[in-house]
Structure 1
Amino acid sequence: MPANPKYLSSPWQRVAKISAGFIGGYLVTITFHMALSFWLNHVNVIITATFTGFILWASLMVIAFLSKNGWKIWGIYLLLSLLFSAIIYIGKMCNPIIS
């Protein structure tokens, strides 16, 4: 018995979800941990990032696949990455010795 067409997404939505899960989730994970490293002890953040990085990346990947619209998830992930990048920039301005 074939799948009900109303539950199938278009191929572009599938590509958007897969790329948002892998690439977008990785971008958010890396920028988040980099932003933390400019405000906290960067050695501790790097050591902790080996474990929390995978957990956060996997969680963001699952969220991308559970969403209905892959393009909306891409937008959210890009906005989060830009927010964390701004925090990195402010951290470099406030703590120039670390960078």
Structure 2
Amino acid sequence: MPANKKYLSKSPWQRFAKISAGFLGGYLVTMSFHLALTAWADSTTVIITAAFSAFIMWAVLFVVSFLAKNGWKIWGIYIALTIVFSTLMYLGDLYNPIV
């Protein structure tokens, strides 16, 4: 059964923004989140857990990008989250250095 046309994106740029945000932006958010966790928690435990939780988080972020009306807003949200998690990773390395 084909999709209802009223729910599909009309613009090819919006379609590109949603697909790229889901695929690449979701990956960046997922990896920056798990790297921030390794800076603040036991890195071995986080890496073992990330083998499963990273795929689940990436898949959820991929689906969320298609639920939004505007793909560029999702890109902005994903970039902002990546910056926040990268800042937490930097601060974790600054205050909890690994010897």
Moved over 6 A (4+): none
RMSD of the TM alignment (CA)?
1.7
Unaligned residue ranges in structure 2 (runs of 5+): none
1:69 corresponds to which residue?
Answer: 70
Pairwise mapping of residues 42-81 of structure 1 onto structure 2 (< 5 A)?
Answer: 42-81=43-82
SS in 1 for 2:66: helix
Residues 28-70 of structure 1: per-residue CA shift (max 9 Å, x gap): 0000000000100000000000000000000000000111100
SS in 2 for 1:58: helix
**What TM-score does the superposition give when structure 2 sets the normalisation length?**
0.91
Unaligned residue ranges in structure 1 (runs of 5+): none
Cα drift, residue 5 of structure 1: 6.0
One-letter identity of the residue aligned with 2:19: I
Cα drift, residue 7 of structure 1: 3.8
**What TM-score does the superposition give when structure 1 sets the normalisation length?**
0.91
CA distance, structure 1, for counterparts of residue 5 and residue 19 of structure 2: 20
Whether 2:69 is the aligned partner of 1:37: answer no
